[in-house]
Amino acid sequence: MTCSRCSFIVNGVFVALLTATRLCAADTQADLKAALAREIIGPKQSMDDVRKFTAARVPPVPEAKSVAEWEQHANRMRKETLDRVVFRGEAAKWRDAKTKVEMLDTIAGGQGYRIHKLRYEALPGMWIPALLYEPEKLAGKVPVFLNVNGHDAKGKAADYKQVRCINMAKRGIIVLNLEWFGMGQLREAGFTHARMNQLDLCGTSGLAPFYLAMSRGLDILLSLEHADSSRVGVSGLSGGGWQTIIISSLDTRVTLTNPVAGYSSFRTRIDNFSDLGDSEQTPVDLGITADYAQLTAMLAPRSALLTFNDKDDCCFASDHALPPLVAAAEPIYKLYGKESRLRSHRNSDPGTHNFFLDNRQALYRMIRDQWYDGDDKAFPGAEIASDKEVKTADELKIEIPPPNEDFHTLATKLAESLPRSEPRPADSTAAPKWRDARVKQLTGVVKPQRYDAAAETVSTEKLGDTEVIRWRLKLNAEWTIPVVDLARAKPTKAALVIGDEGRAALAEKIEALLASGHRVFAVDPFYFGESKVESRAYLFALLVSTVGERPLGVQASQVIAAAQWIKSQGQFDSLTLVTVGPRTSVIGLTAAALDARTISAVELHQPLTSLKLVLEQNRTFDQSPELFCFGLLESFDVPQLKELIAPRPVSIQ
């Protein structure tokens, strides 16, 4: 017979013990989390590393001792930039498409000019609204000007831009005022600039729509009866300044250019974080074909006015941005004997990020001196008051045929037929040759590096029965990554763990691995955990891509180097790569696909099942830089990466 009191006491002891066990486990996990979070490399290390990594890869301006030698360089850089950066993938077909233009209604401007509304296709199905400012009295050939705008929500209706267009038209110039992606009438989610990288993922240049919108605009201007092909100008502020240097350096039809507070050399940007550009300003591989210093020199011998602001509250302040550009361009203009065609203007009133009166009048004077022999009567340098002629956005609105293609819709359509890949052969004897070819293809996409790891012990401690060693791994003097090494007893198998939230968030998973007899190495690769870049992280990830590398390649290479170092730490029967989260799952699969010798198995927790989800979720580059690796989806999705890892096991937990 059972005593109820004894039963209560026994049960009470059981409950107390169970509660104590749970509390003890919670305390252990909290201690483990604290041990994982302890600083190893410090908050500035990754920032220092990525700056040095990118700076070492920006090419210098090539030297030239003659015009012929320079033109050989310039023609090569121009061709390589167009072929290898702008018109990659499907964009090569867009390049050859016929420009479709639809002229719409005409509205009254002010005295001496009228405004034609029009729309045209930058590429098939992507319509750009534009305004053509035309002098009422036209005779013979007259200059034409492309006025582009930057990051201004008002777009083509911005008052300072309208005044510039009006002043040019009143002085006899035909002007095309373009709308820009993400601004004005094109201020839509699908045109967010960080979504252009969705095209990159599909192996098609996200830069191409930007370039085509401008080059087609020039096509329209030069098709006009009165267009003088020897006097073709472009100007713009901020993102418009960026557009101006891009089209003017790469399209030699432009004969006078005025980029305003719109760009600086990649070398300058590495040291001046305010200049780090968005996706379009830092496109994939531009930094290896032509830095902005080279693009500036490539303007020679054509007329160029470089305008910067002394107290710029946005970016590209004159003190740091302007001198390296002038230093790059001046010797080239001197070779041509055309020094007078290169000018710079520094604005101090108001000196902020602007294309206001002082900067506009600097442009008028440039046009006067270069195209009108300095005749102030033929082309006055002072602005004609036109504020009362500025129109509202509604008055300037242009209907766009729905649906209008944008970055997201284009990428989604491209992805329908991707990836284009050769499946693993059924014949096992053919598999090694197939794998070698596919690994070579993957290598060409992600551009991994070969790193040798040099380890430095930072600290050691005992956490109960767990030994904890913290390491700094130095990888070829390019990167330093943190590693926490945890072991109980003498394990014969090892696990390398990475996670989207960094190593400090992996305590529960690491405890399970320790309990199952693993020696665990928790690693934070570039951009994760303690290896996060301290400031403007995704802009530095863009910089990695523009200098010819890939964030995914850097991360996978770091994981491989860590895995190889781990193998050297003991006689392990196996090394399992464990990932926690969708982003690190792709890094882990890529690393294991590239390295068949070191990584024995892959274990995925909350993995990404397909890169197409990046498009379905309409993600932007800043949310997950490594998932936008140029051309990855063109040849590999998650199943194709797993194919390369076979016959090694890949499990999803």
Give the pLDDT confidence score for residue 14 in this predicted structure. Answer: 47
Q: Are residues 384 and 441 in the same domain?
A: no
243 and 173 part of one domain:
yes
With cut-offs at 50, 70 and 90, classify the pLDDT of residue 154: very high
When the pLDDT of each residue in the chain is averaged and rounded to a whole number, the result is 95
Same domain? 298 vs 389: yes
Per-residue pLDDT band for 11 (boundaries 50, 70, 90) equals: low
The pLDDT of residue 23 is above 90: no
Q: Given pLDDT bands bounded at 50, 70 and 90, which one contains residue 349? A: very high
Q: Which of 7-11, 137-141, 169-173, 361-365 is predicted with the least confidence, judged by mean pLDDT?
A: 7-11
**Helical ranges in 38-157 per DSSP H:** 45-55, 67-81, 91-96
DSSP 344: E
Q: What is the pLDDT of residue 259?
A: 98
pLDDT of residue 333: 98
Distance CA 333, CA 560 (A): 48
pLDDT for 29 equals 80
As a whole number of angstroms, the distance between CA 231 and CA 366 comes to 12
Instruction: Give yes or no: residues 275 and 322 share one domain.
Output: yes
Q: Are residues 368 and 393 in the same domain?
A: yes
Number of domains observed in the structure of the chain: 2
Q: At residue 7, does pLDDT exceed 60?
A: no
Phi first, then psi: give them for residue 595, nearest 5 degrees: -120, 100
Mean pLDDT over residues 159-174, rounded? 98
Between CA 234 and CA 257 the distance in angstroms is 5
Structural domain including 547 reads 418-652
**553 and 644 belong to one structural domain:** yes
Q: Indicate whether 10 pLDDT > 90.
A: no
Question: How far are the Cα atoms of 11, 193, 285 from residue 196, in angstroms, in the given order?
Answer: 64, 6, 15
The answer on pLDDT for 104 being more than 90 is yes
Question: What confidence tier does 482 reach under pLDDT thresholds 50, 70, 90?
Answer: very high
On whether both 233 and 366 belong to a single domain, the answer is yes
What digits encode the pLDDT tens for the residues 356-370? 999 999 999 999 999
Dist CA 183 CA 146 (whole Å):
17
The answer as to whether 642 is a domain residue is: yes
* DSSP H helix total and E strand total for the chain: 22, 17
Q: What is the pLDDT of residues 498-539, one digit of tens each?
A: 999 999 999 999 999 999 999 999 999 999 999 999 899 999
Confidence of residue 17 (pLDDT cuts 50, 70, 90): very low
Structural domain contains residue 65: no
Q: Which of 365, 393, 414 is the last residue of a domain?
A: 414
| pTM metric for this prediction | 0.94
pLDDT tens digits, 26-46: 567 889 999 999 999 999 999
- Residue 205: which pLDDT band, with cuts at 50, 70 and 90? very high
> Which of 399, 414, 429 lies at the terminal end of a domain, its last residue?
414
Predicted pLDDT at 570: 84
Assess if residue 265 is contained within a domain: yes
Domain shared by 308 and 329, yes or no: yes
pLDDT computed for residue 618 by the predictor: 97
Handedness of CA 529, 532, 536, 542 (dihedral sign): negative
| Domain closes at, from 370, 386, 414 | 414
Within-domain flag for 542 = yes
Instruction: Report the DSSP beta bridge partners of residue 485.
Output: 469, 521
Residue 448: inside a domain: yes
In a domain, 571, yes or no: yes
Residue 12 has pLDDT above 80, yes or no: no
User: What is the model's pLDDT at position 571?
Assistant: 86
* Whole-angstrom distance, CA of residue 180 vs CA of residue 533: 31
Answer whether residue 2 is part of any domain.
Answer: no
Q: Is the domain of 238 the same as that of 341? A: yes
Q: Which residue has the higher pLDDT, 518 or 5?
A: 518
| pLDDT tier, 19 (very low <50, low <70, confident <90, very high otherwise) | very low
Q: Residue 289 — pLDDT band, cuts 50, 70, 90?
A: very high
State the Cα–Cα distance between residues 219 and 224, nearest whole angstrom.
Answer: 9
Looking at residue 650, its pLDDT comes to: 98
Same domain (yes/no): 219, 367: yes
Report the 3 state secondary structure along 275-311: HCCCCCCCCCCHHHHCCHHHHHHCCCCCEEEEEEECC
Q: Classify residue 502 as left (phi > 0), alpha (psi -120 to 50) or beta.
A: left
pLDDT of residue 18 exceeding 60, the answer is no
SS3 state at 114: strand
CATH number at residue 243: 3.40.50.1820
Residues 459 and 576 in one domain: yes
Express each pLDDT in 242-286 by its tens digit. Answer: 999 999 999 999 999 999 999 999 999 999 999 999 999 999 999
Per-residue confidence (pLDDT) for residue 26, from 0 to 100: 58
* 505 lies in some domain: yes
